[in-house]
């Protein structure tokens, strides 16, 4: 089912975007599956190259607060990574506007549970290198949630998600005071590292030899605690309880002390809150079982915190 935030496009629409952005024609195009925010197509160019065309939501679509400007944000993320850590494989930005982005098509396919540990370890190592890039503030860019320090930015991020849930009449467990009670722990983070945030298997590409071939979908990037990027590679699990996880072998984090474990719990609370809040904007009914499952995961983290 197509998400309400995804435009229903045709090959002719993609041809028009490519002509505007690259000044060339296409030999064909097909829509790609996997995401729920933007419409994503693969297109062949007249010169033989393959590109990806991502088109943002229609102006009429209701989105979460942090999702404003995510198409330009993706171009920013890929460009920053390419400029500062060129050995990390990300798509090349070929053309971009506020409404769409055209990038190179990377080789490989999304990770699955059957892939070798090599790509996951190489992903961890690549993300560690990306984390050396430092921003000038914490949180998101533009008018979205941000702050001069990490506790302030993280509180604003959670507040926006709670406001989104209220706007859509999505029930959440009580979250009052959760961030404020752990402000001192969050304050230990003093450098705003560049974070991908969305490193689930679908956004990590692997080649036939088991090697990492790309990190994609960087539109949700923000600046903050590097530990936040250790949540989605083990989504619905606790990576600090998985010492043999190959992502950790590549990333090589410091031992998880009490502060790190509390922060990881807070970041899972953030992720599950986001996933619950976004459901209706993607056309997902609260009664389909997903909401109750995610709420159970969120309540477990809150109880342990």
Q: Are 276 and 290 in contact (CB under 8 A)?
A: no
Q: Are 174 and 192 in contact (CB under 8 A)?
A: no
pLDDT tens-digit readout, 234-261 = 999 999 999 999 999 999 999 999 999 9
pLDDT of amino acid 173: 97
Long-range contacts of 171-174 (CB under 8 A, 24+ apart): 171/286, 171/291, 171/295, 172/273, 172/276, 172/277, 172/295, 172/298, 173/295, 173/298, 173/299, 173/302, 174/302
Whether residue 33 has pLDDT greater than 90: no
CA pair distance 158, 117, nearest whole angstrom: 33
In 3D, which of 17, 25, 36, 24 has the Cα closest to residue 102? Answer: 17
CA pair distance 89, 255, nearest whole angstrom: 27
Mean pLDDT of the chain: 96
Q: Are 37 and 6 in contact (CB under 8 A)?
A: yes
Residue given tokens 């056309």 in the structure block: 283
Q: Tell me the pTM.
A: 0.96
CA pair distance 43, 28, nearest whole angstrom: 6
In 3D, which of 73, 66, 278 has the Cα closest to residue 172? Answer: 278
Percent of the chain with pLDDT over 90: 92
CA angle centred on 79, ends 73 and 80, rounded to 5°: 90
Q: How confident is the model at residue 277 (pLDDT cuts 50, 70, 90)?
A: very high
Q: How confident is the model at residue 205 (pLDDT cuts 50, 70, 90)?
A: very high
pLDDT tens-digit readout, 127-161 = 999 999 999 999 999 999 999 999 999 999 999 99
pLDDT of amino acid 67: 96
CA pair distance 75, 138, nearest whole angstrom: 19
Q: How confident is the model at residue 114 (pLDDT cuts 50, 70, 90)?
A: confident
pLDDT tens-digit readout, 18-28 = 999 999 999 99
CA pair distance 38, 99, nearest whole angstrom: 10
């Amino acid at each position: 089912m197509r998400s309400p935030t995804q435009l229903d496009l045709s090959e002719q629409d993609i041809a028009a975007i490519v002509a505007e952005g690259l000044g060339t024609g296409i030999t064909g195009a097909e829509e790609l599956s996997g995401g729920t925010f933007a419409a994503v197509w693969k297109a062949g160019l007249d010169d033989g190259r393959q590109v990806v065309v991502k088109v943002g939501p229609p102006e009429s679509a209701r989105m979460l607060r942090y999702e404003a400007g995510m198409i330009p944000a993706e171009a920013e993320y890929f460009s920053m990574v390419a400029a500062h850590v060129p050995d990390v494989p990300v798509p090349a930005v070929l053309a971009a506007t506020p409404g769409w982005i055209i990038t190179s098509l990377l080789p490989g396919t999304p990770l699955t549970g059957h892939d070798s540990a090599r790509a996951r370890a190489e992903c961890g190592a690549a993300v560690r290198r990306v984390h050396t890039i430092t921003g000038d503030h914490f949180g998101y860019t533009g008018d979205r949630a941000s702050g001069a320090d990490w506790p302030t930015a993280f509180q604003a991020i959670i507040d926006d998600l709670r406001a989104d849930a209220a706007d859509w009449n999505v029930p959440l467990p009580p979250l009052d005071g959760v961030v404020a009670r752990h402000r001192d722990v969050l304050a230990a983070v003093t450098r705003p590292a560049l974070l991908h945030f969305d490193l689930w298997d679908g956004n990590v590409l692997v080649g036939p030899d088991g090697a990492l071939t790309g990190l994609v979908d960087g539109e949700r990037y923000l600046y903050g605690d590097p530990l936040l990027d250790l949540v989605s590679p083990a989504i619905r699990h606790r990576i600090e309880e998985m010492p043999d996880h190959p992502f950790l072998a590549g990333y090589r984090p410091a031992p998880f002390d009490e502060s790190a474990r509390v922060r990881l719990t807070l970041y899972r609370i953030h992720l599950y809150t986001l996933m619950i809040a976004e459901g209706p904007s993607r056309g997902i009914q609260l009664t389909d079982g997903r909401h109750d499952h995610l709420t159970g995961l969120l309540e477990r983290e809150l109880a342990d915190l």
